[in-house]
Amino acid sequence: MLPNPACVQLLSYGTAAVKAEETIHSTERPSASLAWVSDYAPCFGIQGDSVEILNTPEEFYQTLKTNFKGAKKRIVIASLYLGTGQLEKELVSAIEHACQRAKKAGNKDFEVHILLDYNRGSRGGEVSSRTMLTPLLERYPGMVQVNLYHTPDLSGYLKQYLPPKLDETVGVQHMKVYLFDDSLVMSGANLSDNYFTNRQDRYVQFNNCPEICNFFSGLVKTVSMFSLSLHADNSTKLHPQWEIHPYQGNNKDFKTAAGRSVSEYVRSVTNEQADKQTKKESKSDTYVYPLLQMALFGIHTEEDFVKQLFRSASEGVKISLATGYFNLTKHYQNIIVQESLANFNLLIASPQVNGFYGARGVMGNIPDAYTYIASSFYHLVKYYNMQCRIRLYEYYRSQWTYHVKGLWYYLPNQNRPFLSMMGSSNFGHRSVYRDVECQIALVTQNKQLQAQLHQEQTNFFANGVETNEVTFQQDDRYVPLWVRLASPFLRRYL
């Protein structure tokens, strides 16, 4: 992939930004360590003033509801599932309002594309994500399309005997894209009432960015092509342009064809963007790189990017990383602890704000598994005597749960991030190896946007308490023996 000249120019800004204050004695400049970013994904140049950080679940919900209702060109959604409560019904009503207006105006170009996960979207039986959307399919045929991604790894006896909820551990559609006309919100939040009220996540809105929106619209449609199409009678069928069934067809052929479809799509957009940037002088101060992670289909862009980001960080770089489900892959963990020179602050969920806290049955032990993983990581950091460079914080907020995911990258001697990552990935084993994920890497020299991103990070960490040896010795951190013994197995599905 050819590097984008304008993008490389902005990445080189990192040197100028710290040159006057730089006190470290390193031969590697920040520009040298970040110039590789343009090699990983399509590059979209925008103005940083078009990016807005939403701070609360209510603000996220009202933004979606208002903009879905006012959409005149398109609505494109990718999420794990859609809830079935009153707030979700109002969201569907907002989408229907846009459909009604387009139908009355004779606007045949208006379209609604919704992509959910098959298993999570089918949970509930008579009342589910599927039944929430079938009325739209019935009333607006041709205008509304709903597709359900089904992992090819859930097939045969595994599909036949693995019970609901547990079948989702095999792999899901996990991208979170909420697009209306030429604007979109990138988030880690699903479309369910708790994500609209007291489940904290990230929500980054890109306003009037048609090229970025075109990319994500095309991406959702590409993944939808090898997903199952939902019909008005709640039945599902293969997409008209697809021939291999995800769990009844040949597993290898399905994965190869799906990977080829996504790779060809991304490659075509990358080449198109490169041609545009070489033909015009860019006035952008912010660049956006979509990063995909679909290991089942041989796509590891996000993983490769993150590993290189950690490895290339020079001394003095600070990286703040947040995840609601802390289960770093061995690669990420080893690079952070043993290879990287950066300072890391990691914000994870305390047991009480884990979404599975208080759940019935085996699900109720999931927070115990995450506690054991966090304890193991803490003691690994201690073993390598890296406590001064790597700090682990637990998020706690009464009556709230925590689902934040993302990364903020600070150049040496800077108090505002130069790069941030946002999207669906938790940086864990599931995200890297099982699920369909998408993040954005945002690189900016826009001071106002940097300040917004820094304030966002500060707000999250304000609810964090640094862990220490005592943390994991408390009575409420007791981990049952069977969870400790099963941890190597469980980590493959968390």
Residue 245 catalytic?
Answer: no
What pairs with residue 187 in β-bridges?
203
394 by DSSP, 3-state: which?
strand
Integer Cα distance of 491 and 428 in angstroms:
9
Scan for tokens 């990017």, then name that residue: 305
* Residue 489 three-state SS: helix
Q: Is 15 exposed, middle or buried (0-12, 13-18, 19+ CB in 10 A)?
A: middle
- Annotated catalytic residue 182: no
Strand order in the sheet with 177-180: 51-54, 203-206, 183-187, 177-180, 74-78, 111-117, 144-149, 228-230, 236-238
**Cross-strand pairs, 393:** 347, 466
Distance set, CA 65 to CA 138, 167, 202, 423 (Å): 22, 31, 17, 20
CA 301 vs CA 10, 86, 319, 437: distances in Å: 21, 38, 20, 10
71 contacts 98 by C-beta, under 8 angstroms: yes
294 forms beta bridges with 299
Q: Is 280 a catalytic residue?
A: no
Query: Would you state the structure tokens that stand for residue 383, as one six-digit string?
Result: 């073993």
Task: Identify the active-site residue in 65, 176, 221, 405.
Answer: 176
Residue entry with tokens 């073993």: 383
Gyration radius of the chain over CA positions:
22
User: Phi, psi at residue 105, to the nearest 5°?
Assistant: -85, -5
Check 181, 285, 368, 435 and give the catalytic one.
181
Q: Which among 113, 150, 174, 454 is annotated as catalytic?
A: 174
Residue whose C-alpha is closest to residue 407's, from 239, 232, 202, 252: 202
Burial label, 211 (beta-carbon count in 10 A; 0-12, 13-18, 19+): middle
**b/e per residue, 417-453, with b = 16+ CB within 10 A?**
bbbbbbbbbbbbbbbbbbbbbbbbbbbbbbeebbebb
Residue among 474, 156, 436, 394 at smallest CA distance from 292: 436
DSSP lists the bridge partners of residue 322 as 347, 406
Residues marked active site are found at: 174, 176, 181
